[in-house]
Amino acid sequence: MDTEYLDDEEVIALYNKVRTGRKTWPAGIWSSPAALQYAVTIFDYWIHNVMGWKSWPEARTRVNPVLLEEHRLADIVENVLVPEFGEDWLDFEVVLNESMRLSEDADWAVDLTDRQERVEAAFEHAFEQLIGSPQAKPGLLATYHRFRNHLLRMWGSFQEAQAEREKAQRDAANRFWKDLRLVRSTRGQSAESWSIVNGEDERLGEVSMLWGEPHPYCLIVLDERIAEGDWEQVVYRMEQEVLIEEPGIVSFAVWHKSFLGEYYRCLDCGELHSQFDDDGPADLRLPGMHEPDDDDD
């Protein structure tokens, strides 16, 4: 399969196509370095959005092999979760998610400020509440240490993945902007605009920012000479150097040969998410533009 990393939105979209029979899992996806992250993302989405359950503890009492097979999750369990965590993978996932939820609650353990200390303290609390106290039940001690080691290993992997992702973002941005500049064209009380120009001062894109209500709105129009997907580097540059709003506040409308959609930066995962469904913007095109054939570059 293509080894390109899938963000949360992309892997959820893929799962929905597999779940509804429109696709099968790509070969090799569950042996990729990101397999565990994909698995946890899909299960969290399935529990809350597909099944409508409020929490992992609620799911713990309802998940069964027939349900997993019906919703195309059995392969994930067999190839990722059981080899990684053992047969009690669901118990671990419940404790893990409750630990993360609790550690992110600003009103819980306000005296703990270090992120990892909060996660470890939350694990102690969640394990005792959901599984039991190792002090009161010595038989749980082996499970406690195994779950705790899983948690710390996953936390370390998460930190490394975050650092790699941020480095990849910076490197991609540097490559894109190496021979391009963002030049301000106009500036008014409620709107600003910039041009993207190359070394010969040819315009390869326009960026317009409207400071309106209920939130700022950014329109990005790119020349066809810009590589597909590189519009994200324009968004990243705007966020890093121009905009002062928190992630998720600004909507980005992107035109590149056709209307690609409206996007926002997710506060939870840090990825750019579409405001539309998968098929939403397909027929929103500039006048005179045809639907691209599969053979079009």
**Residue 290 pLDDT class (50, 70, 90 cuts):** very low
pLDDT average, residue stretch 92-117: 85
Give pLDDT, residue 141. 92
Q: For residues 60 and 127, which has the higher predicted lDDT (pLDDT)?
A: 127
The token pair that represents 54 in the structure block: 């409020």
Determine the pLDDT at residue 286: 39
Q: Is the pLDDT of residue 157 over 50?
A: yes
DSSP state of 240: I
Residue 87: predicted pLDDT: 86
pLDDT of 104 over the 80 cut:
yes
Q: What is the pLDDT of residue 160?
A: 73
Indicate the pLDDT class of residue 38, thresholds 50, 70 and 90.
confident
pLDDT at 7: 76
pLDDT the model gives residue 196: 93
175 token code pair: 């490559």
* Per-residue model confidence (pLDDT) at position 30: 87
pLDDT tens string 224-280: 999 888 888 898 888 877 776 665 678 899 999 888 888 888 766 667 777 764 443
Q: What is the DSSP letter of 50?
A: I
Question: Distance between CA 238 and CA 232 in Å, rounded?
Answer: 10
Structure-token pair, residue 181: 């500049």
Above pLDDT 90, what percent of the chain?
A: 20
pLDDT of residue 264: 84
Task: Name the pLDDT band for 195 (thresholds 50, 70, 90).
Answer: very high
- Structure tokens, 110: 């306000």
Taking the C-alpha atoms of residue 205 and residue 190, their distance in angstroms, rounded to an integer, is 21
Tell whether the model's pLDDT for residue 103 goes beyond 60. yes
Phi and psi angles of residue 112, each rounded to the nearest 5 degrees, phi first: -95, 120
Mean pLDDT of the chain: 82
Task: Walk me through the domains of the chain, giving residue ranges and CATH numbers.
Answer: 8-171 (no CATH), 180-274 (3.40.630)
Plot region of 263 (φ>0 → left; ψ -120 to 50 → alpha; else → beta): beta
Q: Does the CA dihedral 141-143-149-151 come out positive or negative? A: negative
